[in-house]
């Protein structure tokens, strides 16, 4: 299945079930991948996590109903899968920047988060060359910079360059995430394979890794490889993620992008 066609089917399923409990496992079945892979693909392609997308669509509809139908707050909370009116009101105000009780007087402040649609002609068949490598436990030393999905493209190369003059080229970099599903970037690490005073010790356990090579060490080329990996490789692979950060290994003018896996 064209990945974008599958994602449009996911969007339709969500739209038809905004008032019901939505299981990510059911969404992942639509495009034929495991649950964690689905969440990562959705986040990468849409630039929003699946949880945030569903929440935003529900709160958009709730705002319109609160104004047009003068619905009770508790009824909307239950309708859109919130445990209570307090939790709903808190989420509503964070999204719309207005309290539910103020909507009738200030409807112009309501926000609209529109339904996503993916361009299905974007999909291209790509032959992704990769290999499975088994790496022994590594002890590395480094520092990290907290960052986000939106900023890592700029933060990573700038942070890496800070260490080059004093410590030389770092052989590794690492991207950590806030959750196992890898939807939201937490931090970017620069790592050395030698002990450096003031640097944090990072132990990478023995694991099997998918390795995809980029014949470059330029940030733009590495980011393109990462994007291609998630869009083209994972939708058709039979591997599950291990709950380990992603690594980049720099050597001989090239970059190996590494992601830990478990064989099914």
Question: In angstroms, rounded to a whole number, what is the distance separating the alpha carbons of residues 64 and 61?
Answer: 5
Q: How far is CA 153 from CA 82, 135, 216, 219, in A?
A: 35, 27, 16, 8
What pLDDT band is residue 144 in, cutting at 50, 70 and 90? very high
pLDDT at position 146 is 96
How many residues are listed for the chain in this entry?
264
What pLDDT band is residue 126 in, cutting at 50, 70 and 90? low
Q: What is the DSSP string of the chain?
A: --HHHHHHHHHHHHHHTTTS---HHHHHHHHTS-HHHHHHHHHHHHSS-HHHHHHHHHHHHHHHHHHHT---HHHHHHHTT-SSHHHHHHHHHHHHSS-GGGTTT-GGG----PPP---GGG--------EEEEE--EEEEEEEEE--TTTHHHHHHHHHHHHHHHH---SEEEEEESSTT--SEEEEEEEESS--TTPEEEEE-SEEEEEEEES---HHHHHHHHHHIIIIIGGG--EEE-SS-EEEEEETTEEEEEEEEEE-
Q: For the chain, how big is the Rg over CA atoms in Å?
A: 22
On whether the CB atoms of residues 242 and 261 are closer than 8 A, the answer is yes
| Per-residue H/E/C for 15-29 | HHCCCCCCCHHHHHH
What token pair was written down for 48? 């929003």
> Taking Cα atoms as reference points, which of 174, 181, 177 lies closest to residue 204?
174
CA atoms within 13 A on the CB side of 121: 0
Phi, psi of 249 (to 5 degrees): -115, 115
Can you give the residue ranges of every domain in the chain?
3-109, 131-263
Q: How far is CA 206 from CA 15, 258, 259, in A?
A: 42, 13, 12
Q: What is the mean pLDDT of the chain?
A: 88
- pLDDT tens-digit map of 202-261: 999 999 898 999 999 998 888 888 877 776 676 556 677 788 889 999 999 999 999 898
Q: According to CATH, what is the number of the domain 131-263?
A: 3.20.80.10
What token pair was written down for 99? 């309290």
Asked whether this chain's domains 3-109 and 131-263 adopt the same fold, the reply is no
- pLDDT tens-digit map of 210-226: 899 999 999 888 888 88
* Terminal Cα distance for the chain, rounded: 21
pTM across the whole model: 0.64
Fold of 3-109: Arc Repressor Mutant, subunit A (1.10.10)
On whether the CB atoms of residues 204 and 244 are closer than 8 A, the answer is yes
Using the predicted structure, report yes or no on whether residue 125 has a pLDDT greater than 50: no
């Amino acid at each position: 299945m064209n990945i974008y066609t599958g994602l449009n089917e996911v969007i339709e399923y969500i739209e038809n079930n905004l008032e019901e409990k939505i299981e990510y496992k059911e969404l992942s079945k639509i495009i034929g991948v495991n649950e964690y892979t689905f969440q990562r693909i959705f986040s990468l392609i849409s630039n929003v996590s699946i949880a945030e997308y569903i929440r935003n669509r529900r709160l958009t509809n709730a705002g319109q109903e609160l104004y047009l139908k003068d619905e009770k707050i508790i009824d909307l909370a239950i309708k859109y899968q919130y445990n209570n009116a307090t939790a709903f009101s808190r989420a509503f105000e964070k999204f719309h920047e207005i309290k539910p009780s103020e909507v009738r007087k200030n409807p112009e402040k309501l926000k609209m988060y529109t339904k996503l649609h993916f361009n299905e002609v974007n999909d291209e068949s790509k032959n992704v060359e990769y290999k499975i490598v088994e790496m022994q436990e590594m002890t590395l030393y480094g520092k990290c910079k907290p960052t986000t999905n939106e900023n890592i493209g700029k933060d990573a190369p700038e942070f890496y360059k800070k260490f080059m003059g004093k410590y030389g080229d770092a052989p590794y970099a690492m991207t950590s995430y806030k959750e196992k599903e890898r939807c939201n970037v937490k931090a970017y690490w620069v790592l050395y394979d030698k002990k450096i005073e003031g640097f944090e010790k990072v132990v990478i356990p023995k694991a099997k890794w998918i390795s995809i090579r980029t014949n470059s060490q330029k940030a733009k080329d590495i980011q393109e490889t990462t994007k291609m990996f998630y869009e083209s490789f994972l939708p058709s692979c039979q591997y599950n993620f291990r709950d380990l950060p992603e690594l980049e290994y720099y050597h001989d003018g090239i970059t190996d992008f590494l992601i830990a896996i478990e064989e099914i």
